[in-house]
């Protein structure tokens, strides 16, 4: 895989987990990285984002941490301008930021529903809208949206999360049709059960049953997802658009 010099990648929710692995992988391919994070009162996310950026620069790359809540349109627009000023216009966008508010529909309030949709789905729309014109002007761009196997299968107590991730797939396919003639591709990656903090919110007994249903008999690693994203962001993926790549060990085929 390869990236031409000068590619700038924005990875949302990149301070830890999948976002961190994706940011580091794209940096190894030569992209300059904008490490997006959500400000928190304790400053933990900032510290983690700065650590990711430092790891990139220590390896000879370029990276900046940039705060923005993707559920806030004004913050997203400001983030895009900040990145353009520091690194250049975004040419690779990875919409990874996401939240969970799992509970049965009977217990779910409108706030729980709306918060998940606003970050996971509408946040991706805001980020694409903020950087798309720069991709159009350049005649090249890559949008990779992080969906989920749950967006394909559904999940108990996850009507909000599953709806947001299924919505991302429809968004991706429609976007691909709109922007393909401008040299821009849009694809989705749908991870299965990956060894991040989110996995261990599932009770151990339930994890055991899930593992039995995975043909490869192993949990995924963040790097497995990062490899798929890096390919879709590369020059070699020029003829792939509107697709959903499952990274799930065969859990869903």
How many CA atoms, within 13 angstroms, populate the side-chain half-sphere of residue 194? 23
Which is nearest to 123 in space by CA: 179, 165, 65? 165
Rounded to a whole number, what is the distance in angstroms from the first to the last CA of the chain? 25
Contacts of 213 (CB under 8 A, 6+ apart): 251
38 with 118: CB under 8 angstroms? no
Q: Which DSSP string do the residues of 68-123 spell out, in sequence order? A: --TT-HHHHHHHHHHHHHHT-S--EEEE---------TTT--HHHHHHHHIIIIIH
Q: Which of 37, 161, 200, 239 is catalytic?
A: 161
Does the annotation count 161 as an active-site position?
yes
Active site residues: 161
């Amino acid at each position: 895989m390869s990236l031409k010099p000068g590619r700038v990648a924005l990875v949302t929710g990149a301070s830890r987990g999948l976002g961190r692995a994706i940011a580091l992988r794209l940096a190894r391919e030569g992209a300059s990285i904008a490490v997006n994070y959500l400000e928190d009162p304790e400053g933990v996310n900032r510290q983690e984002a700065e650590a990711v950026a430092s790891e990139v620069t220590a390896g000879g790359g370029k990276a900046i941490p940039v705060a923005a809540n993707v559920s806030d349109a004004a913050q997203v627009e400001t983030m895009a301008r900040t990145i353009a000023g520091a690194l250049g216009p975004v040419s690779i966008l990875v919409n990874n930021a996401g939240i969970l508010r799992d509970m049965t529909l009977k217990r779910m309030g409108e706030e729980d529903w709306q918060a998940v949709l606003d970050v996971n789905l509408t946040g991706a729309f805001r980020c694409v809208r903020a950087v798309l014109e720069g991709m159009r002007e350049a005649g090249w761009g890559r949008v990779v949206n992080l969906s989920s196997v749950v967006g394909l299968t559904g999940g108990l107590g996850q009507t909000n999360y599953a709806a947001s991730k299924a919505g991302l797939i429809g968004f991706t396919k429609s976007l691909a049709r709109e922007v393909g003639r401008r040299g821009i591709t849009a694809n989705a990656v749908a991870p299965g059960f990956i060894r991040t903090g989110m996995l261990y919110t599932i009770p151990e007994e339930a994890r055991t049953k899930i593992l039995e249903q995975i043909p490869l008999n192993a949990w995924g690693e963040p790097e497995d997802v990062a490899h798929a994203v890096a390919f879709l962001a590369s020059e070699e993926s020029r003829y792939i658009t509107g697709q959903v790549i499952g990274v799930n060990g065969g859990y869903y085929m």
